[in-house]
Chain A
C-alpha cells in the first residue's frame, strides 16, 4: 500500500492540460521556407531528398512525402530551409500538404460538418499497419497514454473494424497486407472514413518504389485526413482530428 502511494506521489499530474497549446520542444516539425532566392542552377536540396519531396521554380515541399530527415537543410548553401517545432501539419486534402515559400500560414484542417455531426462527441478508431516500421504504431499508442489522453475527447481505439468509425492506416501498404486491409475496410459499417498516418501511408514515402508494395487500395478509397511525419508527432494527429471534427 505504501509503495503504491509512493508511485502515486512520484507520478504527480502527467496529462497535458491543453493539447492545443502544447509545444514539443526540439521536435523537427513544420518546415519554413524563406524567400531567399536559390543560387542559379542549384538543386542540392532536390538531390539530397530521399523521397523527392522537393520541387523547384516555384519552390514546393510536399509534407506528404517528406520524412523530416533534414538532409535538404544540410545540403542548401543558402539556408533557405528550416524546420520548426510546430506540429500543426495535418490536412484534409493531398494538395494542402504542400508548403511554399514565404511567411508560414497554418491552414487548420477544415471541419467536416457531416463528420462533426456524427462523430464530434464519439469516435472509434481501428488501426492497421501495412508495412509500418513501428514508429507510427508507437506514436498512435502514445495518444492513449497518460500524457496525451486522447480519450478525453471521446476518441478511442477499438479492436474490431466492426466497431470502428475510421480506419487509420500506417505503412506504405505491402502486397502481403493488401487483402487484409481491404477486408478490414469492408468490415466497417457506414458512415466511415479513412486516415493516412505518416509519410509511408500518405505517399509511400521511402517505400514508394519498393518491390513489396501495392498501393491500389488508396486508389479506391481516398483518405479524409492526412497526418504527415515519419513518424508524425501525436500532437500532429491531435490537431488534425480535432479540427476535422470541429472540437475546440
Chain B
C-alpha cells in the first residue's frame, strides 16, 4: 500500500450508472454505510458531462461512482439532503453549466467564467431590521495576506451571519495543468497553494506514478513523509504565531515565529527552498540528506542526519517551553476558549476535513490509514472534542509534538537520502486515478483522467480549504465580530488553493 491514498480505476471497465442508479447508490453509501464524499467533479464531453463521485466507505475503502448527464437536463440537487456536497454542486454548475435543480444557493465559487461582473448577479444576503448593520471586508485585507471578501450581518456586535465571497485568486490552474506534459507539472503544482507545496506535489507525484505503473523506493517515500511533516510543523507554528499576535500575546508571536524560521530553514537545507519547492518529483525526489545538495559547494556543506536531528531537538525543546507558557496564560485561554465553536455533528454534516475536523472531534487523518512510510512509522491522529479556537490551537500544539517525534524516528531509520530523477514512461490510457495526502490543513485530493493516448483529459485539484471555508462562516455565528480575526486565523484557510 502506498503512503498516499490511491484509487486507480480503468475507465472502460468502470460501470456508467444511469442518473437514478448513481443517485440511489450515492444516497445509500452516504446515509446507511458510513460513507463520505471525498470529491465530486465533472468531466466535459460536448454537451454531456460525466460526473464522478469518489466515496470513502467505513473510513477505508475508496470507490468511484460515475454517471453521465445532459448539461441542460442535469439532475436534482443532493445538497439539501447532504449539505457537505454544496460546494461540489456549485462548482459543477459553475465549471460545466450543469443544471442542478433544487440547490439552495448556486452562487459561483470562483466567478471563473463570468469574472467580476458576475458578482452583481449574486448580491450578498441581506437581513432587514432596525438593529441590523453590515460590515464589508475585502477583497484587500489589512495585512500581508491573500484577498477575499467577507460580509458580516450583525445585530449590534454579534455576528448573525457571515457570507464569504471568493474567486479573487482564480488563475485557471486546472486548465493550465492540461496544457503541458503531465509528467512535468511539478513546478506548477507546487504553486497551487504555496504553503502546501509538499502535500499537493506528493498527491500529484503519486497519481503519475500510479498511471505509469511505478513504485518508489522506501528512501524516497521516507524523505517525502519527512518533508510533509516539516511543512506541517512550519505552518502550525505560523498559525500559532498568528493566533498569539491576534490576541496580543506577543511573546508567543515572536517565539513561534522564530521557531518557524528554524523549521523552514531545515527544509531549505534539504531541498534548496523554504517552501519545499523541488523536493518532490514524479518517481523521484530532489531532497538530499547526508550529501551536499547540488548547489555551490562554497556555501553548502553537507547537511547530515546529525544536523537534522539537532534541529529537531532544538525545535522540541524550545517549542515545549513556549507551549507551556502559551497554554497556561490566562489571557490566551480567555480569548480562545468557547470562541468560534463548530460542534462535532455540524462538522460531520458540512464535511469538514483535516485539522478543523479533528478539532471538532472527528478523527480523520489519512496518515493513520496509509501504507508506505506510515506502515513502518505509524502516526496517530490528534483529536480535540470542543471545536472552538482553543481546540484548533491545541491540535496544532499536539501535532507539532507528534510530527517532531515522528520525524526523529524517520531520520534515525533513514540517515541518508539521495536525490533521484528516474525517467517516467508512458501513462496508462483511459484511467481514473485519485491520490490523496494529509496536508497540514487537511486532505489534498488530486483526480486525473487519462484519454485514449495517455494524455490528460481532466485534472481535478482539491485543497482542503475548498470544503472548510463554510466551517469558518458557521463558526463565527453568534460570536462577537471582534473575534473574527481569531476564528479566521484558527482555520487559516487558503484562498488560492480554493480559487485555483
Among A94-102, A138-146, A218-226, the one that faces the other chain is: A138-146
* Contact present for B180 and A50 (CB under 8 Å): yes
A10 and B322 contact, Cβ closer than 8 Å, known pairs A70-B286, A135-B195: yes
B168:A174 contact, CB within 8 angstroms: yes
B321 and A50 contact, CB distance less than 8 A: no
CA–CA, A172 and B168, complex, Å:
12
Partner of A82, one of B172, B265, B295: B295
CB of A203 within 8 Å of the partner chain: no
Beta-carbon contacts under 8 Å, B223-258 to A: 238, 251, 254-255, 257-258
Q: How far is the CB of A188 from chain B (nearest CB, A)?
A: 12
Interface band, chain B: 35 or more
CB atoms of B268 and A137 under 8 A apart: no
Residues of A within 8 A of B147 (CB): 128-130, 177, 180
Query: Across the interface, do B254 and A11 meet the contact criterion of CB distance under 8 Å?
Result: yes
Verify if B63 is at the interface (C-beta below 8 Å from A).
no
Q: Which B residues from 428 to 461 make CB contacts under 8 A with A?
A: none
For chain A, give the interface size range.
Answer: 35 or more
Taking a contact as CB atoms under 8 Å apart, the answer to whether B258 and A174 are in contact is: no
Q: B317 near A: Cβ within 8 Å? A: yes
Is the beta-carbon distance between B258 and A145 smaller than 8 angstroms? yes
Given contacts A82-B296, A131-B496, A211-B172, contact A179 B146 (CB under 8 A): no
With A127-B144, A131-B496, A138-B195 already in contact, the answer to whether A174 and B188 are too (CB < 8 A) is no
B171 at the interface (CB under 8 A from A): yes
Instruction: Please state if A71 and B187 are interface contacts (CB–CB under 8 Å).
Output: yes
A83 contacts B296, C-beta separation under 8 Å: yes
Residue of chain B at shortest CB distance from A28: B272
Most buried by B among A26, A128, A177: A26
Report the nearest A residue to B421, measured CB to CB: A74
B176's partner among A28, A132, A210 (CB-CB below 8 A) is: A210
Q: Is the CB of A26 within 8 A of B303?
A: yes
B187→A25 contact, CB < 8 A? no
Query: A162-195: which have CB < 8 Å to B?
Result: 171-172, 174-180, 184
Contacts of A85 in B (CB 8 A): 295-296, 299-300
Complex contact A14–B187 (CB within 8 A): no
Nearest residue, chain A, Cβ from B175:
A211
Chain B nearest CB: distance from A88 CB in Å?
Answer: 13
Q: Give residues in B with beta carbon < 8 Å to A.
A: 110-112, 115-116, 139-140, 142-147, 167-173, 175-176, 179-180, 184, 186-188, 190-195, 197, 238, 251, 254-255, 257-258, 260-261, 265, 268-270, 272-275, 277-278, 286, 293-296, 298-301, 303, 317-318, 321-322, 324-325, 328, 421, 494-496
Q: List 17 A-B contacts (CB under 8 A).
A: A3-B324, A14-B254, A26-B293, A27-B273, A70-B272, A84-B299, A134-B146, A134-B495, A134-B496, A135-B191, A157-B143, A174-B169, A176-B116, A184-B140, A207-B176, A213-B172, A230-B191
**Chain A residues proximal to chain B, CB less than 8 Å:** 3-4, 6-8, 10-11, 14, 23-28, 32, 48, 50-51, 67-71, 73-74, 82-86, 127-142, 145-147, 157, 159-160, 171-172, 174-180, 184, 200, 206-207, 209-213, 230-231, 233
